[in-house]
Amino acid sequence: MDLFAVIYLLVGSTFGLILRLFIKYIFRRNKILYFNKYLIVNVLSSLFLGFFIALNFNNKNLFLFFSVGFLGCFSTFSSFIYQLFNLIQTRKYISFFLYYFEVLILSSLFFSLGYYIKLIIRS
C-alpha cells in the first residue's frame, strides 16, 4: 500500500469517526424520543455503502477513502457486537435475537435501497 492510499484511508476514517460521534451526541441529548443510535449509524452506513457501490467507481483511492475509511469508522460493528454481548450477559435472549435480526435486516434493506436509489437517479 502506498503512502497516498494510507492518507486517503486515514482522512476518510477521521471524517467517519467525527460523523458517528456527532450522531451519537445528537441522539444522546434527545430525551423525548428513544432512538437506538447504533442502529441508526449502521443503517445509514449501509445506505451510503449501497449508494456508493452503485456509483461503480474504479478509483482505488476513492474506494479506500469512502468505503474502507469513512464507512469503516462510521459504522459500529464493534458496538453492535458489544450490545449483543450485553444482552446475552443480562439473559435477555429474546431482545438479543430481535436486535440481531433488526440490524441485519434493516442494514440489508437500506443497502439495497441506497443501491437502487442511485440506479433510479442514473436512469
- Domain residue extents for the chain: 3-122
Taking 80 as the threshold, does the pLDDT of residue 53 lie above it? yes
pLDDT of res. 32: 57
pLDDT of res. 35: 65
Taking 90 as the threshold, does the pLDDT of residue 112 lie above it? yes
Task: Taking residues 88-92, report their average pLDDT.
Answer: 94
Where helices occur in the chain by DSSP H, the ranges are 3-29, 37-55, 60-63, 71-74, 77-89, 93-122
Taking 90 as the threshold, does the pLDDT of residue 91 lie above it? yes
- Average pLDDT, whole number, for the chain? 87
Pick from 112, 95, 103: nearest CA to 79 = 103
pTM for the whole thing? 0.80
